[in-house]
Every structure is written in C-alpha cells, then in structure tokens.
C-alpha cells in the first residue's frame, strides 16, 4: 500500500519522502505532512479505539481540535502517549502506534464494551460501583484503571530537556491565519514590536487549506508572501509551532513552543520551550473550529469534518475517501463539495439539511431538507441512510455542522461568550482580558475579506492606542464567501448518536443527565465527561449545549457554556517543570566545609536546600550508630568540630537596633552588654513560639542574630515586616549574612586549648578573659578577621568561630590540624542532635508551630514588662493553664528498650484514646553517655510528675514501652561543663 489516497502533493514537498511506521506497518509520506495526512494518504482510516466503548475510530479533523486520532509516538523512554496525529508533524523514521485496545487495533477484545453500552451510560461509575465498599480498592478500581485511560506511559525518565523563557512585546498576535497575518502586517508596518505565534508548523491557518484568492494570488501563496514580509521586519518575531495556551493577568500569556518534536532526535537541545509573554496588547486571531451533527452511529471511521476533508485535499493533496458524501447545514459545506470535485474526487451526494438552499453544484446530486439518520460499516463507513429512508454508498462522510469561533482565550479571565444566532455560535463577550482584542473568525467574522479587513483594523486601532502611526496600506483584497447557516443539531434516534467522540458521550447521555437533574452545564460536563480530556470538547461543546438546551426546553444562550480555562491544548508536565527537575528542582546549598566533609567520609542529609554532614564514617564502621556514638564521645571527652554555617545569620545595625530586637524577641535584649551573647525566643503574633537562637552584641549599635536553619528566610522576612510596617521610623537596618560567614562549633573540654592555637594571641580567650556567653571580633591564623562566640549547644565548653565564607574550607582544615593533638573529631547533625537531646534543648521537633514558651519550659522568658511580637496574645488564659503540656525528659524503665518518637503517653492501664492521651514524645536518641535510649516530650503537668511511670504507646509501630518521667537535662544538669 503506497499512498493510494494521494491525489497531488498539495503544499507538501514530494521531493522529500519520509518513511514511517504505524503499528509496525511501513508507510511513506512527504515533508509537510502531518501524521494524520500521511495515514490518510496510505489509506489507514482506522487509527484508534474509543475511550469507553472501544469503538473503531478514524481521523476526524485536521487540527489541534482532534478528538479521535490519539496515537503513541516514538518508543522507549521517549514514548509519548495521547498525541493528536493531526498535529504531529511527519519526519523520517517516525514510529507511531495506536492505543486503547487489548489485542490488535483491528480486533480489540474490549470492543465487547460496545455490546454493554446500555450499562455504561452517564454516571455508570457512580451507580455501578457503589457496593460493597470493600470491593472498591481491590476489585473495581484495578479493573477500571486497566480498562480506562488511553495511551500508556513508558515509566522511564523523560530523556528530553525543556526550557522556560520570557518574551516582551507591544502586541502579541495569536494565530497566523488571514486575520492574524493581516493584523501582523499592519502592526509590523506601524513599527510595533510584534510577536506572531501560530500552533502550526506552516503559518497561514485556513489560507493553506482553501482555494480562495487574496490580492490576486492563491491564498497559500499570499500567506507565504505575507510571512516573507514579516520575516524581513526586525520588529516582528514570528513563532511557528507555538501554541498560546493561556491568557493570564495583566497581559501575560503562556505559550508552548515545540522545538524538536518534528525531528527524530532532540540532539541535546531543549525539546520544548514554555514562554511567558508580557504583552501591552494582544490580538486573538484564533479562528474557528467546525463541529459535527448528532445522528446514529456518526462516529465511524470515515466520518469527518467537512473543513478537514477539504484541508486534506487542498493542503496535503490527500483524498479522505474515494466516494465522499457531504452533509451540511450551511453554505460552507458546499466549499468542500466544490473543492473535492475540482480535485477530481468522486462525490456521492451533498445533503443539505436546509429545505431551501442557494447553493448547488453541477454534476453532483443534491439532497435538500434531509439529514443522515444512520450509518453502516465497522472499520470504515460503507453507507449512510438518510432521514428519508434512502441509503447512499460512501466511504467518507464530510459533515459541515457550522463553525464555532475559538473564544477560549477571551474567557480565561472569567469572560463569558455570548450567543450569535447569525453564525449559530458563541462569540466573545465584552469582558475580555486586559489589553486583549479579537479579530477574524474568533470574533465571529467568518468570511475571508472581512477577516482580513478586521485584522488590519484592529491592529491599526492597537497601534493608535500605543501611540504609533498606523500604516495606510489597504487591507488585502479578497471575496467574502457565502456563509449562511441554519442551525441543525441532531436527528433523534433510539441508537447512539455521538456528541463527544473522545469521551464517548452521546445524545442519550446528555438527555439522561438532564432527566437525572444535572441541569447546570458545569454539572452536565462532570456527570457525562462531555468536553473533558485532551481536546476539551473543541468539536463537541456547542453541539452538547444545543442537545442539552433541547432536552431542558431552554435556549442555548440560557443554557450557557462551561468556563474555559488554560491550557487551550495540552501542555506536557515536562514543559511546565522546565529545568526545575530532579536535583535541579531547587538550588542546592553547600556548606563551606563540604569538600572537607566529602573527603572525610561524610554522609550528607538534605536540610531544606542545604546539604549537611549527617555523620562521618570512619574505616571499619558499618552502622551509622557507631559513627554517631564515636563522634559524641569524642566531643564530650576531648573536642569535636561541627559546621554550623547553615543557621540563619542576620546583621542588625542602627541606633535603634537594641530597641528593635526587644520587639522581635520575647525576652529582653535592650540591656545586653556589648561583647555578650544572649539566647532568645521569638513568638508569632498569636503567641506561639516559632524560632530561637542567639544574638551577639558586637557594638553599641551592631548585633548579629542567629536563627534556626529552617526559619532563616521567614524570620528575616518577618523582621523586615516589623521594620518597615510596624516601626517605620526606627533607625535599624537588616541584612542576611548567612552565606557571608562560615561558622564552626568547637566543643569539648579541649576546645579552648585548640582555639588558643587558632585565635591570634592578641585576644585573651581564657575563662576569665572570654567567659561563657562572651563574643567579640578577633583575628585568627595570623590576621584573618573572625568573630568568636562562646556559646554551647552541646553543653560542653564550646565556641563558635566565624570567618568570611571564602576562608571556610581553610578554616575547617586549620581547626582539624590544630586539633590533631587532641584527637579533634568532626561531627555531623546526628551527633549534634544526640547532644542537644542529652541537654534538653528544644529544636524543630519541639518548636513545631503548636507550642508555647510555657510548654517548652521557657514561660518566664516572655517579658511582661515590654511589648514584643506575640507577647499580648501569649497571655491568653487557655495557653497558660497549670495542667498544660510541659517539655520533660523520658527514659525507658527497661534500659535495653529503644524509645520511639511519636509515641503518646498514657497512665498505665488506661485505654489509649484521645480522652486519656497525656502528651507525646518529640525527640529520641541513644545517649552514649548514659548508655540507654532517652527522649524529650510534652506531658500534661510534666514538670510536676518527675519519677512517674507511664505507658509510651506507639500504635503505629507497635513499639509500646514503659517510661519514667525525668528532667529534660539528662547530662550535666548544672551546666558546669560549659562554664568551665
């Protein structure tokens, strides 16, 4: 079989022959073909199976509105399901397969569904799979999942890359058909910065599919000339293969450009680009979409839209059938008949539903005042039976049901279209998105000369609005074709008459839905699935509304439309994601000691965007606990070093800096002496504790604050809010210096001895010279500027030393070298966590956004003598009850037992439920110092219940155990070590 349906080359390039396969069958097409035109050229009419009934289906349209011809392209990881063959550009080596059948396309086992169609009508899922409930997950859902759906995913990672880009223009023209080209010429000549975007690979729209003349040239030639003129203008950006899929706020449009879909391989280039286009004005020239007429068995392969049959003949030189029947309710259907006759294609008859028509064609039988009532043929239509009873043999039925303006993008800002009886279609309403104009068929201007004039006029008006001088060049000349229409929607029948081919929605479903009370079109859509899925009902919505209007006795405008939302046509998830995928989903932040940590066996953990060393595996260690226990013991027994750069650091300066911090922190900061550090807690305005950290006063008007790693951004944002919105005249300035300073904790009995080798001798860091909670600007390693803080999270004698980030790598190495004689050990976040639990310090598990300072045992820190964020609401009675939650420690009664975070506490013997629940375990760790598992947790009146034994109930993991309530300060409760 070799292109037996090809009648001429049309606008394709027959010097370039492309080989492709469909279901493994070798076929040939031309450059300039779509997969659909090439399939038709090869006589492949059956291309898929319908969604629900698995009915044989063929190509229905010639554009992005295609409901039927969904195929799978390519193979392996590049496999792409649900691609519309009508917009898939043919290339040499293309492989396509049909989808949605079990067994072969020709003999689909699920075609049995068609026999049970009476049970598969609207809402059958809701009605059929109601009971028993237990069946849903195990039986119904797997069956439905395997039977439904169209193509299948490769389940491999998408090998292609996708980009995002931004464009700006004076005017965005959407669609390069007659109105769009005319508008672009006018706007371009006026000197405006123009973007002309068209979804097709060949600009021209219907001009490429018609035999009309423009300015004395064949329409397609005029389109080529217009494109050449536009391409020569520096101020015009012509974007083909680009679908403008959404109209967003303030003149922003979304567009998808297909860069390599028409090539065998992307060859490392981005496959598609998702553009965000910022426009001052937009002119929507999206044209119109033809629709069908509902009658029995109107879904067979060979039943097509008349405009598409014409397009295949004119643009692609392909006969959709050997003996075509045209069914029309309007004058445009006759254009198909005329063009097919001119192309030498045999016409069985033209059936005009209008009793009176001015149209006629010599040599072709006209049947007026009738419609098709039924069709025959399984894998291709064989004949049609007319309402008058006559049967006509035919292998292609071209239906001209009227054209619906493509108003979609006029409605993306909730604009509602209005009904126009003259064209029997919806036209844009008055409430367009800001800056948007509409021209041509999209605006209801359905004829050629008028559309060309409309495009120019609208573009000239836009030029004027934008202060440019409009070109005086006249509109391209053409003749307006006859376009009368008398709406005709359906022939009632006891058999199924399709409205939405993609979702197998028939007139019966719409009537039933109305009878069952789904009166709103939005309900109709959800109940019947009319207008859903990849085509979003482009060919079916208006017909559906007409049938619904008929069933409810209302008019079409009274029935209204569903809301159009972006995208106009499908946008791949890959394109939406762009480069933000996998590890590039968000930036990765590395600590200054990352390289050192890598070299020393660190296991990393993601904390927000940061990669932090979790522990350092030494040779011979086979379990993370070995590494963590070793790091804790080494730190507590000598000295350990931890990169704490990730904590947020905020530099606060200004005459009012101290007063400002007094507002931000719940405890007092105004009187903190210079050279001292203080621990502070921050509340939200509702009184809940949300962050903690230390703030050092480096000078009278200079503080440096630390926040938790997790809240660094939010605290900074809130402080800017307070500074600008609450205290606008305070003299205070903030800057985030998190990335500016590399900071290391040096902790353990030998911390001072180690740092004495690092900190230049000009600074006295003896216990007297630099006591607990001291801070200062110092120099290290012979003159490098640094900051030193004597603070301790581990409970050991500890310092944190900060150097400009660029010295971070050198600093960790210098510290480790200096610490060699003390067996200094790098430690990670796990050891850090163990030591903070041993000391009873709160962290993220405790500061969980539900707990107050009182819950945390820090109630007295909230100063009542001053105003600070959250102070007033923190005093609410319900948040200050004596029997409220308190943070306490827990140890297992049997020391060999491992505690579980997330367990809930109950009195022994009580039935565990919400009423008897007394609190929960927040953090647990194995304490190498104590030799058993320890935990922190919140317990009702916890601080008054020391020594009490409780059940720690762990229903999730079944890991219940008995625990004893103890102080949260497991290790060195007096805090002697850190003051030493």
Applying CB under 8 A, the residues found at the interface with other proteins are: 248-252, 278, 413, 434, 685-686, 713, 717, 720-721, 724-730, 867, 871-873, 875-876
How distant is the alpha carbon of residue 682 from its chain centre?
35
Distance CA 824, CA 418 (A): 78
Per the document, the length of the chain is: 980
Shortest distance in whole angstroms from residue 431 CB to other proteins: 9
Shortest distance in whole angstroms from residue 869 CB to other proteins: 9
Residues near 903 by beta carbon (within 8 Å), at least 6 away in sequence: 920, 921, 937, 952, 953, 954, 959, 960, 961
Residues β-bridged to residue 13: 31
Q: Quick one: 719 or 861, whose CB is closer to other proteins?
A: 719
| Pairing of the two strands 346-352 and 323-328 | parallel
Residue the block writes with tokens 């659909």? 36
Q: Quick one: 875 or 944, whose CB is closer to other proteins?
A: 875
Could you tell me the CA-to-CA distances from 256 to 174, 181, 567 in Å, in that order? 12, 20, 10
Shortest distance in whole angstroms from residue 686 CB to other proteins: 6
Q: Quick one: 311 or 732, whose CB is closer to other proteins?
A: 732
Shortest distance in whole angstroms from residue 769 CB to other proteins: 39
Q: Quick one: 671 or 876, whose CB is closer to other proteins?
A: 876
Q: Quick one: 415 or 928, whose CB is closer to other proteins?
A: 415
Q: Quick one: 483 or 730, whose CB is closer to other proteins?
A: 730
What CA dihedral angle connects 79, 83, 85 and 86, to 10 degrees? -150
Shortest distance in whole angstroms from residue 742 CB to other proteins: 24
Shortest distance in whole angstroms from residue 237 CB to other proteins: 20
CA-closest candidate to residue 397, choices 467, 308, 459? 308
CA-closest candidate to residue 364, choices 383, 382, 351? 351
Task: Tell me phi and psi for residue 229, to 5 degrees.
Answer: -65, -40
Q: Which two tokens stand for residue 668?
A: 């007092």
Distance CA 519, CA 7 (A): 48
Shortest distance in whole angstroms from residue 724 CB to other proteins: 4
How many CA atoms lie less than 13 Å away from 593 in the CB half-sphere? Answer: 31
Could you tell me the CA-to-CA distances from 246 to 177, 557, 564 in Å, in that order? 19, 25, 10
Shortest distance in whole angstroms from residue 660 CB to other proteins: 11
Q: Quick one: 350 or 575, whose CB is closer to other proteins?
A: 575
Burial letters 321-345, b for 16+ CB under 10 A, else e: beebbbbbbbbbbbbbbbbbbebeb
Shortest distance in whole angstroms from residue 172 CB to other proteins: 15
Shortest distance in whole angstroms from residue 78 CB to other proteins: 31
Q: Quick one: 249 or 974, whose CB is closer to other proteins?
A: 249
Q: Quick one: 60 or 690, whose CB is closer to other proteins?
A: 690
Q: Are 67 and 87 in contact (CB under 8 A)?
A: no
Residue the block writes with tokens 């009738």? 370
Shortest distance in whole angstroms from residue 731 CB to other proteins: 10
Q: Quick one: 169 or 754, whose CB is closer to other proteins?
A: 169
Q: Quick one: 717 or 979, whose CB is closer to other proteins?
A: 717
Q: Is 407 exposed, middle or buried (0-12, 13-18, 19+ CB in 10 A)?
A: buried
Distance CA 771, CA 764 (A): 10
Residue the block writes with tokens 């598969």? 120
What strands, in cross-sheet order, belong to the sheet with 372-376?
A: 372-376, 383-386, 391-393
CA-closest candidate to residue 316, choices 676, 564, 35? 35
Q: Quick one: 137 or 729, whose CB is closer to other proteins?
A: 729
Shortest distance in whole angstroms from residue 721 CB to other proteins: 6
CA-closest candidate to residue 359, choices 388, 338, 383? 338
Q: Quick one: 133 or 725, whose CB is closer to other proteins?
A: 725
Q: Quick one: 189 or 412, whose CB is closer to other proteins?
A: 412
| Three-point CA angle 714, 720, 723, nearest 5° | 140
Shortest distance in whole angstroms from residue 429 CB to other proteins: 14
Shortest distance in whole angstroms from residue 256 CB to other proteins: 18
DSSP calls for 393-443: E-SEEEEE--EEE--GGGSTTS---EEETTTTEEE--S-PPTTEEE-GGGG
Q: Is 915 exposed, middle or buried (0-12, 13-18, 19+ CB in 10 A)?
A: exposed
Q: Which two tokens stand for residue 686?
A: 């509702």
What angle separates helix 332-342 from helix 306-314, to the nearest 10 degrees? 30
In a 3-state reduction of DSSP, which class is residue 833? Answer: helix
Residue the block writes with tokens 């939200």? 684
Q: Quick one: 200 or 656, whose CB is closer to other proteins?
A: 656
Q: Which two tokens stand for residue 89?
A: 């550009």
Q: Quick one: 576 or 873, whose CB is closer to other proteins?
A: 873
Please state whether the peptide bond connecting residue 412 to the residue before it is cis, i.e. omega within 30 degrees of 0.
Answer: no
CA-closest candidate to residue 193, choices 171, 175, 212? 171
| Pairing of the two strands 919-927 and 932-940 | antiparallel
Shortest distance in whole angstroms from residue 783 CB to other proteins: 34
In a 3-state reduction of DSSP, which class is residue 419? Answer: strand
Task: Tell me phi and psi for residue 773, to 5 degrees.
Answer: 70, 20
Q: Quick one: 366 or 413, whose CB is closer to other proteins?
A: 413
Shortest distance in whole angstroms from residue 893 CB to other proteins: 43
Shortest distance in whole angstroms from residue 251 CB to other proteins: 8
CB atoms within 10 A of CB 893: 13
Q: Is 724 exposed, middle or buried (0-12, 13-18, 19+ CB in 10 A)?
A: exposed
Q: Quick one: 430 or 909, whose CB is closer to other proteins?
A: 430
Shortest distance in whole angstroms from residue 726 CB to other proteins: 5
């Amino acid at each position: 079989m070799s292109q037996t349906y090809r009648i001429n080359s049309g606008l394709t390039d027959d010097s370039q022959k492309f080989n492709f396969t469909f279901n493994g069958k070798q076929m040939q097409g031309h450059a300039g073909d779509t997969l659909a035109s090439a399939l038709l050229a090869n006589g492949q009419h059956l291309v898929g199976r319908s969604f629900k009934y698995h009915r044989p289906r063929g190509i229905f349209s010639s554009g992005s509105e295609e409901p039927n011809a969904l195929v799978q392209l390519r193979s392996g990881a590049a496999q792409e399901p649900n691609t519309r063959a009508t917009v898939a550009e043919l290339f040499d080596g293309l492989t396509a397969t049909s989808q949605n059948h079990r067994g072969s396309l020709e003999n689909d086992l699920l075609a049995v569904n068609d026999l049970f169609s009476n049970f598969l009508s609207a809402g059958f899922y809701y009605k059929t799979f109601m009971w028993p409930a237990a069946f849903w997950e195990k039986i119904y859902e797997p069956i439905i999942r395997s039977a439904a759906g169209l193509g299948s995913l490769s389940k491999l990672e998408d090998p292609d890359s996708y980009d995002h880009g931004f464009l700006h223009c004076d005017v965005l023209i959407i669609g390069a058909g007659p109105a769009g080209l005319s508008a672009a010429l006018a706007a371009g000549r006026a000197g405006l910065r123009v973007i002309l975007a068209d979804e097709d690979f060949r600009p021209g729209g219907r001009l490429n599919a018609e035999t009309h003349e423009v300015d004395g040239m064949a329409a397609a030639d005029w389109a080529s000339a217009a494109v050449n003129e536009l391409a020569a203008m520096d101020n015009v950006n012509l974007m083909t293969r680009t679908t403008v899929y959404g109209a967003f706020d303030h003149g922003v449009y979304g567009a998808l450009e297909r860069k390599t879909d028409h090539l065998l391989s992307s060859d490392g280039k981005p496959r598609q680009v998702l553009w965000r286009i910022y426009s001052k004005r937009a002119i929507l020239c999206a044209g119109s979409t033809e629709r069908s007429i509902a009658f029995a068995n109107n879904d067979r392969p060979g039943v097509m839209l008349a405009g598409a049959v014409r397009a295949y003949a004119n643009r692609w030189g392909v006969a959709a059938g050997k003996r075509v029947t045209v069914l029309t309710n309007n004058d445009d259907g006759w254009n198909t008949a005329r063009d097919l006759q001119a192309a030498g294609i045999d016409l069985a008859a033209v059936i005009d539903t209008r009793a009176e028509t001015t149209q006629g064609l010599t040599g072709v039988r006209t049947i007026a005042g009738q419609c098709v009532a039924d069709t025959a043929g399984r894998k291709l239509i064989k004949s049609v039976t007319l309402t008058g009873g006559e049967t006509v043999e035919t292998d292609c039925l071209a239906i001209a049901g009227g054209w619906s303006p493509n108003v979609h993008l006029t409605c993306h800002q909730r604009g509602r279209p209005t009904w126009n009886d003259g064209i029997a279609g919806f036209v844009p309403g008055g409430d367009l998105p800001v800056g948007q104009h509409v021209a041509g068929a999209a605006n209801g201007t359905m004829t050629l000369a008028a559309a060309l004039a409309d495009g120019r006029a609208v573009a000239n008006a836009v030029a004027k609005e934008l202060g440019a001088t409009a070109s005086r060049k006249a509109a391209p000349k053409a003749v307006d074709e006859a376009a009368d229409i008398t709406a005709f929607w359906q022939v009632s029948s006891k058999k199924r008459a399709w409205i939405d081919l993609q979702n197998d929605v028939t007139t019966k479903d719409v009537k039933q839905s109305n009878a069952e009370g789904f009166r709103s079109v939005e309900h109709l859509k959800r109940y019947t699935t009319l207008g859903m899925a990849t085509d979003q009902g482009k060919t079916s919505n208006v017909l559906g509304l007409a049938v619904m209007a008929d069933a409810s006795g209302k008019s079409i405008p009274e029935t209204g439309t569903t809301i159009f939302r972006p995208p106009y046509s499908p946008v791949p998830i890959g394109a939406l994601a762009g480069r933000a995928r996998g590890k590039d989903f968000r930036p990765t932040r590395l600590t200054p000691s990352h390289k050192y940590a890598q070299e020393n066996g660190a296991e990393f953990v993601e904390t927000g965007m940061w990669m932090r060393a979790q522990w350092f595996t030494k040779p011979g260690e086979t379990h993370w606990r070995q590494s963590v226990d070793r790091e804790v013991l080494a730190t507590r027994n000598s000295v350990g070093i931890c990169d704490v750069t990730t904590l947020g650091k905020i530099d606060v300066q200004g005459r009012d800096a101290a007063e400002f911090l007094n507002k931000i922190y719940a405890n007092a900061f105004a009187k903190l002496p210079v050279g001292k550090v203080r621990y502070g807690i921050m509340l939200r305005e509702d009184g809940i504790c949300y962050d903690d950290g230390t703030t050092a006063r480096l000078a009278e008007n200079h503080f440096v604050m630390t926040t938790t790693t997790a809240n660094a951004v939010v605290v900074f944002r809130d402080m800017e809010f307070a500074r600008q919105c609450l205290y606008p005249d305070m003299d205070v300035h903030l800057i985030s210096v998190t990335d500016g300073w590399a900071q290391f904790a040096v902790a353990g009995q030998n911390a001072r001895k180690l740092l004495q080798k690092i900190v230049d001798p000009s600074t006295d860091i003896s216990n007297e010279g630099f006591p607990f909670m001291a801070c200062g600007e110092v120099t290290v390693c012979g003159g490098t500027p640094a900051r030193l803080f004597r603070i301790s999270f581990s409970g050991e004698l500890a310092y944190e030393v900060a150097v400009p980030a660029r010295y971070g790598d050198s600093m960790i190495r210098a510290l480790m070298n200096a610490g060699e004689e003390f067996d200094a050990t790098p430690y990670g976040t796990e050891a850090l966590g163990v030591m903070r639990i041993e000391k009873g310090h709160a962290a993220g598990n405790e500061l969980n956004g539900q707990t107050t300072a009182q819950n945390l045992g820090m109630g007295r820190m909230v100063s009542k003598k001053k105003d600070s964020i959250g102070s007033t609401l923190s005093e609410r009675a319900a948040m200050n009850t004596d029997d409220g939650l308190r943070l306490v420690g827990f140890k297992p009664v049997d020391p060999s037992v491992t505690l579980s975070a997330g367990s809930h506490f109950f009195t022994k013997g009580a039935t565990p439920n919400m009423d008897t629940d007394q609190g929960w375990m927040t953090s647990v760790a194995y304490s190498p110092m104590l030799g058993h598992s320890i935990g922190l947790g919140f317990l009702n009146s916890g601080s008054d219940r020391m020594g009490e034994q409780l059940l720690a109930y762990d229903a999730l993991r079944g890991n219940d155990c008995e625990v004893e309530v103890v102080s949260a300060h497991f290790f060195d409760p007096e805090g002697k070590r850190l003051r030493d």
